[in-house]
């Protein structure tokens, strides 16, 4: 936890520095977002995987606090529902799909885990403030809370074709999520189109690296690491609640 608090302070220091010397702003916008998340779990020992796809979306907010030279400095955050998880790549030593001799189907397994997520970003942008296009980057911590999980598979522990698998690790099949609280660091960037009297349209991509594990990681636990890694593409719409007027000095 001490290491995580250090990361947060390090990431938000540039924004706090800008806020001390730049041109004042006080713009508050709210809206909503939606997109698609590609997730995997960083298991150690390794579990062969592809990317698990799922929807994500929720509420967005932004507070623009300063303009430092050409850099527009904001705090941007979201409260999201997200479907994460992992999808196993079940192959033999020749990298061919494993066929179940009892069902005649290739073995498939995926786990979907639903989370409530709260990313909080230092949002730095360059471009048009009132009307036009901006380029931005996001960087900051993300917190998550596990809600529920479900499994999709076409085999049982009794009839799986384990003998042909290159990776015979199956302990994870019977392990529910142990640690409900998740935390980590997210970074990304994108484009924003602002239309006067209409609002702001944002398109961004980001990568999240989990610093916590979904399973126990002590010496007596099976997995030493089991963290989320997520690539997300999403769109957001924001409308202004409060807009700073530089001509109003009161």
| Confidence label for 196 from pLDDT (cuts 50, 70 and 90) | confident
Task: Give the separation between CA 98 and CA 8, rounded to whole angstroms.
Answer: 44
Q: Give the number of other CB atoms < 10 A from CB of residue 117.
A: 22
When the pLDDT of each residue in the chain is averaged and rounded to a whole number, the result is 88
Residue pair 110/86 in contact (Cβ under 8 Å)? The answer is: yes
pLDDT of residue 19: 47
| Confidence label for 21 from pLDDT (cuts 50, 70 and 90) | low
Please give the model's pTM, rounded to 2 decimal places. Answer: 0.87
For 217, the token pair is 């990681």
SS3 for 93-131, per residue?
CCCCECECCCCCCECCEEEEEEEEEEEEEEEEEEECCCC
| pLDDT higher at 21 or 195 | 195
If residue 92 lies in a helix (H) or strand (E), which one and from where to where? none
For 179, the token pair is 């640690």
pLDDT at 59 over 60: yes
pLDDT at 249 over 50: no
Question: Tell me: the pLDDT tens digits for 150-177?
Answer: 999 988 888 888 888 888 889 999 999 9
For 214, the token pair is 């979904």
Q: Tell which residue, 208, 244, 242, has the closest CA to residue 227.
A: 208
Identify which of 4-13, 100-109, 176-185 has the greatest average pLDDT.
Answer: 176-185
Q: Tell which residue, 111, 183, 114, has the closest CA to residue 147.
A: 114
Task: Give the separation between CA 42 and CA 16, rounded to whole angstroms.
Answer: 33
Topology of the domain comprising 2-242: Porin (2.40.160)
Going by the DSSP 8-state scheme, the letter that residue 31 receives in this structure is E
For 162, the token pair is 């384990």
For 226, the token pair is 């089991």
pLDDT of residue 92: 87
pLDDT at 53 over 90: yes
Radius of gyration of the chain from Cα atoms? Answer: 22
């Amino acid at each position: 936890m001490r290491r995580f608090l250090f990361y947060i302070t390090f990431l938000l220091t540039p924004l706090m520095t800008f806020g001390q010397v730049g041109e004042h702003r006080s713009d508050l916008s709210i809206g909503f977002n939606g997109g698609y998340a590609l997730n995997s779990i960083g298991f150690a020992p390794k579990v062969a995987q592809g990317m698990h796809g799922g929807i994500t979306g929720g509420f967005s907010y932004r507070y623009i606090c300063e303009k430092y030279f050409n850099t527009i400095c904001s705090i941007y955050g979201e409260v999201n529902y997200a479907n994460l998880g992992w999808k196993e790549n079940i192959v033999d030593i020749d990298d061919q799909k494993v066929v179940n001799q009892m069902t005649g189907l290739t073995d498939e397994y995926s786990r979907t885990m639903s989370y409530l997520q709260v990313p909080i970003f230092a949002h730095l942008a360059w471009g048009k403030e009132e009307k036009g296009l901006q380029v931005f980057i996001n960087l900051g911590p993300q917190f998550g809370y596990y809600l529920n999980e479900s499994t999709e598979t076409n085999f049982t522990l009794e009839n799986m074709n384990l003998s042909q698998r290159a990776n015979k690790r199956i302990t994870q099949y019977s392990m529910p999520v142990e640690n409900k609280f998740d935390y980590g660091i997210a970074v990304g960037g994108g484009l924003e189109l602002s239309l006067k009297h209409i609002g702001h349209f944002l398109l961004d991509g980001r990568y999240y690296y989990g610093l916590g594990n979904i399973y126990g990681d002590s010496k007596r636990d099976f997995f030493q690491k089991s963290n989320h890694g997520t690539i997300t593409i999403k769109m957001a719409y924001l409308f202004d609640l409060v807009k700073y007027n530089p001509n109003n000095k009161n």
